[in-house]
Amino acid sequence: MKVTKKLTKTSQGKMDLLKMRLQTTRLKKMLENTRGIIDFIDDGKEKLSGEYIFDRYYNVSLVDKIIERTRGVVFDSSVLVPEGSRQIYSSFDECKKFAEESLLSPFTQKDITDRPGSNDEAFEDTPEYKMLTDVLSWAGIFKQENKKSIMDIVSNIFDHVFLCFEKNKSSRNGTYQLEIESHGYTNHIELIDLGEGISEAKDGLYSFDNLKCRPLRLILEENFENRLKGSEKPGGNWLATITDSYLGLQNLDPGCTLHLETTLVDNMDSNFIFLYSKNVNIEKKQLQPECSFTKTPLGRLTWNNKTDLSGFEKNIGQIGDILFRGEGSHLKYSILTLNPA
C-alpha cells in the first residue's frame, strides 16, 4: 500500500519561537554537559587500567571538571523547569561538599611526595590509585549509605525535566502539520519550525518536498511503508521541533512518554542522538555495535564515540523503525544518548 504524506500550514496563532529556541538551546547544553561527565568518568576508568601514569593533580582536576559539568546540568535544568530546582541544587551542593571535604582535603601534596618506599609500592596501593577509585565511586555509584552520586543526581534531573515536559502535552500544536497514511493508519506530526526546517511554498501549497529537516526526513523516507506494515502501534500523534539539521520529537499520545533529540550535520563532533522514554527499551543489538550502555537508577545512558556519518544515519533510521513500529513496549524507563567523537 502506498504511503501518502501531506504537509499543510496551520493557523494556530502566533508561536513564541524565541522561547522555543531558548529551550532547545538549553536542552542541547544539558545533553552536552551530561556527555562531558560521562567522558570524564570513562577517562578515569581508563587510567585505573595501570597503563597510564597520573598524579594527585589529575584526580583533583577530574573532580573539578565533573563538578563544573554537573553544575551546568543543574543550571540548565533549572532554566528548563524552574519547579523543583531548589531540591536539585541542594542535592548537588551536598555532593560537591562531600567531594571537597572527603576526597580533596585528605590528600595534600605532602601526603604523596613524602611517603616512604613509594618506588616499591604496588600501583593499586598508591594514594593516587585509592583517591581515583574514590572519585569514580563518588561520580558513578556511591556505595556510602544515604549519599547520592553525581550520576544519581543527573539521572534524577533527566527524569524530572522530561516528565515536566509531559504536562499539558495534549494541547500542544505546531505551525505546520504533517500527516502520513499507510495500511489504514495515520501518524499526525505537529511541526514547529525554528528556522530553515521547512521551505516556504510560493503558491501556499506545501508538500513533503518542503520539509528540509535532515534527521526527520531520514526517519520518514527510509522504508517507511515497511515500518508501518504489521507494526504493533502504527498510528500516533507527535510534536516535532525542527531546523534543517535538528529534530526534537515528542509523542503526544496519552500514557506514552517519549522524547527524541538529535542533530545531524556533516561535522561529526556536533552530531548526537538522545532518547528519553518510559515506553521504548532499545537493545544494543538494534543499534550499531559501537554503542555503549550504562545503567542508571531510572534506566540507562547509552552513547557512541566511534560511529562515522553513515553509521550515525543508520542509527537514526533504526530508531525510526523502533518508534514507528511501537517495538519494545514493555514500559521501562530508558535514557539513550549517542554521540560520535
For 208-227, the pLDDT digits (tens) are: 999 999 999 988 875 555 55
Q: Which of the pair, 321 or 254, is modelled with greater confidence?
A: 254
pLDDT of residue 341: 38
Distances 149 to 42, 70, 88 between C-alpha atoms, Å: 15, 11, 13
pTM of the predicted protein model: 0.82
DSSP 3-state of 65? helix
Indicate whether 194 pLDDT > 80.
yes
pLDDT band at 143 (very low <50, low <70, confident <90, very high): low
172-176, 209-213, 306-310, 329-333: which is most confident: 209-213
pLDDT of residue 77: 96
pLDDT of residue 192: 92
Scanning the structure block, which residue is given the C-alpha cell 524552574?
82
pLDDT of residue 48: 85
Torsion of CA 144, 147, 151, 152, to 10 degrees: 120
Strands 236-242 and 246-251: antiparallel
Burial code of 154-180, b = ≥16 C-beta within 10 A, e = fewer?
bbbbbbbbbeebbeebeeeebbbbbeb
pLDDT band at 114 (very low <50, low <70, confident <90, very high): very low
Give domain limits for the chain.
4-13+169-338, 18-165
* Amino acid occupying residue 160: H
d(C-alpha 124, C-alpha 73), whole Å: 33
pLDDT of residue 228: 53
pLDDT mean over 295-321: 65
pLDDT of residue 328: 41
d(C-alpha 173, C-alpha 12), whole Å: 7
pLDDT of residue 253: 86
d(C-alpha 37, C-alpha 151), whole Å: 9
pLDDT of residue 159: 86
Q: Is 328 left (phi over 0), alpha (psi -120 to 50) or beta?
A: left
Q: Which of the pair, 291 or 72, is modelled with greater confidence?
A: 72
Q: Which of the pair, 181 or 198, is modelled with greater confidence?
A: 198
Please give the backbone phi and psi of residue 293, each rounded to the nearest 5 degrees, phi first. Answer: -125, 140
* Amino acid occupying residue 69: R
pLDDT tens per residue, range 233-282: 556 889 999 999 999 999 888 878 888 888 888 766 677 788 787 755 66
Indicate whether 69 pLDDT > 90.
yes
Average predicted confidence (pLDDT) for the chain: 78
Question: Which range, of 75-89, 177-191, 294-308, averages the lowest pLDDT?
Answer: 294-308
Question: Which range, of 29-33, 91-95, 184-188, 241-245, averages the lowest pLDDT?
Answer: 184-188
**Which of 34, 40, 93, 47 is CA-nearest to residue 62?**
40
Indicate whether 295 pLDDT > 70.
no
Question: Which range, of 127-141, 144-158, 274-288, averages the lowest pLDDT?
Answer: 274-288
pLDDT of residue 184: 73
Indicate whether 183 pLDDT > 90.
no
> Please, what is the Cα angle at 163 between 157 and 169, to 5 degrees?
145
